[in-house]
Structure 1
Amino acid sequence: MRIAVAADSLDGVAARIVGELSERGHEVVTHGALNEAERDDWAWACEAAARDVAEGRAEQAVVCCWTGTGASIAANKVRGVRAALCADGYTADGARRWNDANVLALSLRVVSEPLLKEILDAWFAGTASTDPADVANVEHLET
């Protein structure tokens, strides 16, 4: 799978995310502080990764900033993106299942390497619910 990754700094697990995704067999496209040719501010970097998803250049994205909040806000401004700020595997699984999230937002401050693996395991194992109520909620976001 092709995954866009954005971070506004190289703090915490920023670089480790790229390595972890590559080790899992994904093709990674980098933005922000992970790409020397780009602006590293969270709003620009995370929007760029989200646009990759919305415009079909990537199937999913992982966006990061110090708290993860700005990263999720920037990604969610892009039509067709459903970014979820996840701090554990349970939340990541729920975001994929109930919200059909296509962008994972992470905090560079609180996510450790073991927690990163837990979150990514749950994220990639999760699939969108086919329950009519869940589908209706996701479809409502597109209107």
Structure 2
Amino acid sequence: MKVAFGTDEVTPLTAAIVERLRAGGHEVDVVADGAPWVETGRRVGDAVASGAAERGVVCCYTGTGVSIAANKVPGVRAALCTDAATAAGARRWNDANVLALGLRLTSEEVAGELLDAFFGTEPDADELDAVAAIEPPR
């Protein structure tokens, strides 16, 4: 799967996230590597919304800013997740297409669990209809 990745701060954790995605067989396009958080969220959001990437991962200190910025792009459903169950639920029930992570409190081990859950869970078909019904046309 093609994944757009962006972070406002390059850290050992962000390098580990990219490596884990690649090791999982994903093609990773790093679209923001140290850009301001607003730009990071927008770049990843644009890549996902345009179809250049199927999903995205965004990171900033808390994860909140990049998730808000990505969600400003029509067609993006970014979810800030702190545990695997939430990441799986974001995919299953909300068809989230961008995973937002906070660099402050996320360990490499937890990031791996989040990535596995997010990329290993498919949306529930009934929930897809509910989400599509409230999305504005593009």
The TM-score, its normalising length taken from structure 2, stands at 0.93
Q: How many residues align?
A: 136
Does 1:42 find its partner at 2:43? no
- What secondary structure is seen at the aligned counterpart in 2 of 1:13? helix
| Displacement after TM superposition at 1:121 (Å) | 1.1
- What secondary structure is seen at the aligned counterpart in 1 of 2:88? helix
Contact 1:88-1:118 within 8 A present in 2 as well: yes
| Displacement after TM superposition at 1:141 (Å) | 3.4
Partner of 1:100: 95
* Equivalent of 1:137 in 117, 120, 130: 130
Partner of 1:37: none
The one-letter amino acid paired with 1:56 is: G
- What secondary structure is seen at the aligned counterpart in 1 of 2:125? coil
Contact 2:32-2:44 within 8 A present in 1 as well: no
Specify every segment of 5 or more residues in structure 1 that has no aligned partner in the other structure, as ranges: 35-39
Identity %: 49
| Displacement after TM superposition at 1:10 (Å) | 1.3
Partner of 1:21: 21
**Superposition CA RMSD, Å:** 1.3
CA distance in 1: counterparts of 2:130 and 2:65, whole angstroms: 24
The TM-score, its normalising length taken from structure 1, stands at 0.90
